[in-house]
């Protein structure tokens, strides 16, 4: 009569099977982890774009004087906020700033600031899932 004694770590066949299972699941696990990191970076950059547009709209709202001075102040503030995060606007016309009648209030003026930047991603290869441009628009009443 034979007795089978199992080692504390299991048999060598069981350890080999665990290694194979780990090798099969590792690429999927790494793809998920890298995707989460890349998506988190995209959300961080998106927040900085949102902040830049808001800063530009606020600068237009608090700057006294003519519309030209308000537009210039909005552009300077938005560009400064974007560059503080290490980003650049996608084109020379960025940020786009306009001052026009507020929606629903023909007697009030509103500044609309749109910031759009190109987004490459932290880790290449996720271009099919993540956007290639991040855009945000903020509106503030100036008068």
27 in any annotated domain: yes
84 in any annotated domain: yes
Q: What is the pLDDT of residue 107?
A: 85
Q: What is the pLDDT of residue 140?
A: 92
In the chain, how many domains are there? 1
Supply the pTM of this predicted model: 0.76
Spell out the per-residue pLDDT of the chain, length 143, in tens: 555 555 555 566 677 888 888 899 999 999 899 889 888 988 988 999 999 999 999 999 999 989 899 999 999 999 998 888 788 776 777 899 999 988 887 788 999 999 998 888 777 777 678 888 889 999 999 87
48 in any annotated domain: yes
Residues for the chain: how many in total? 143
3 in any annotated domain: no
5 in any annotated domain: no
Q: What is the pLDDT of residue 77?
A: 92
Gap between the Cα atoms of 7 and 52, Å rounded: 62
Phi and psi at 139, nearest 5°, equal -125, 135
6 in any annotated domain: no
1 in any annotated domain: no
Residues spanned by the domain of 39: 12-141
Gap between the Cα atoms of 81 and 52, Å rounded: 5
Show the CA angle centred on residue 51, arms to residues 114 and 93, nearest 5°: 30
79 in any annotated domain: yes
């Amino acid at each position: 009569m034979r007795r089978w004694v199992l080692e504390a770590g299991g048999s060598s066949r069981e350890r080999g099977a665990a290694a194979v299972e780990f090798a099969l699941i590792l690429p999927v696990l790494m793809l998920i982890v890298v995707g989460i990191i890349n998506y988190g970076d995209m959300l961080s950059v998106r927040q900085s774009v949102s902040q830049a547009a808001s800063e530009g709209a606020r600068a237009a709202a608090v700057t006294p004087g003519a519309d030209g001075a308000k537009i210039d102040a909005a552009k300077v503030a938005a560009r400064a906020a974007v560059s503080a995060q290490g980003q650049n606007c996608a084109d020379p016309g960025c940020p786009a700033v306009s001052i026009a009648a507020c929606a629903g209030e023909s007697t009030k003026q509103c500044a609309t600031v749109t910031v759009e930047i190109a987004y490459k991603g932290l880790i290449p290869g996720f271009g099919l899932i993540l956007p290639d441009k991040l855009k945000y628009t903020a509106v503030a009443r100036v008068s």
